[in-house]
Chain A
């Protein structure tokens, strides 16, 4: 069973600064890694799939990298509308576990 671990739990970043979120898999998931953004009261939104491919309509300030067990989501210049919880998800292996526990991004 693959366990996804995200860090940090909370990230405080000043507007316009870079935000770097990490996701680690307990075993290799190749590039089968997605990132989602969830704002309060809303459903998650797909940001990144295949570890580094932006989904349709996602701004270029969001980028993903990594493979195997270590992955990163970078927001190059944090905007106020980026305040949310971000989840990573592996889809290389069928559940029971697929999502990380989330990283909350807030404005400093």
Chain B
């Protein structure tokens, strides 16, 4: 059974970079599946951030693309999210997910989520 766990700072200062890691157990991230990040805030609801594959293929939400980078560390079976130049609008619960086979946007397995607050 695949399990995912997000980790990272719960508080980030405005204009700095938000960095989160998703640790995957029970399945290799070097597989045929895509892996994704989704966030949820009271004001904007659920928002897809991006999806990535071990092959190097990535898809980023156009509204965030200039600030987002997703990467992987196969030795630790982890993938990561970096979001630069954050503002209060980036305050949200961030989820990592394994996507459904042959999909870049259907989240089949989710982490429990981690709250990130942007504040000085």
Residues of A within 8 A of B (CB): 34, 36, 42-46, 49, 55, 87, 89, 91, 94-96, 98-99, 101-102
Contact = CB atoms under 8 A, between A and B. Distances in A.
Interface residues of B, number: 20
Interface of B: 45-48, 59, 61-63, 95, 100, 103-108, 110-113
Contacts of B108: 46, 55
A6 to B, nearest CB: 10
B107 A98 contact: no
A95 B63 CA distance: 8
Given A34-B106, A94-B105, A44 B59 contact: no
B106 A95 contact: no
Contacts of A94: 59, 61-62, 104-105
28 contacts: A36-B107, A42-B112, A43-B113, A44-B46, A44-B95, A45-B110, A46-B100, A46-B106, A46-B107, A49-B100, A49-B103, A55-B108, A87-B46, A89-B105, A89-B106, A91-B105, A91-B106, A94-B59, A94-B62, A94-B104, A94-B105, A95-B63, A96-B47, A96-B61, A96-B63, A98-B105, A99-B45, A99-B47
